[in-house]
Amino acid sequence: MYPDETYDQTRTNQFASGQGFSMSVAPELRTDRLYLRRWRGTDRQPFAALNADPRVMEHFPTPLSCEESDALATRIESHFEQHGFGLWAVEITGTAPFAGFIGLSIPRLEAYFTPCVEIGWRLASEYWGCGYAIEGALAVLAFGFEQLRLAEIVSFTVPGNWRSRRVMERLGMTRNPADDFDHPTLPEGHPLRRHVLYRLVRPQP
> Among 14-18, 45-49, 160-164, 169-173, whose mean pLDDT is lowest?
14-18
Has domain 29-153 been given CATH number 3.40.630.30?
A: yes
pLDDT band at 141 (very low <50, low <70, confident <90, very high): very high
Q: Quote the CA–CA distance of 153 and 150 in Å, as a whole number.
A: 7
- Nearest C-alpha neighbor of 109 from the set 178, 193, 36: 193
DSSP strand pairing (118-123 vs 194-201): unpaired
User: Rounded to two decimals, what is the model's pTM?
Assistant: 0.89
pLDDT at 7 over 50: no
The residues spanned by each domain of the chain are 29-153
What is the CA angle 175-178-181, rounded to 5? 90
3-state secondary structure 117-185: CEEEEEECHHHCCCCHHHHHHHHHHHHHHHHCCECEEEEEECCCCHHHHHHHHHCCCEECHHHCEECCC
Nearest to 96 by CA among 133, 136, 46: 46
- In Å, how far from its chain's centre is CA 148? 16
List, for residues 81-119, the tens digit of each pLDDT value: 999 999 999 999 999 999 999 999 999 889 999 999 999
Q: Return the amino acid letter for 117.
A: V
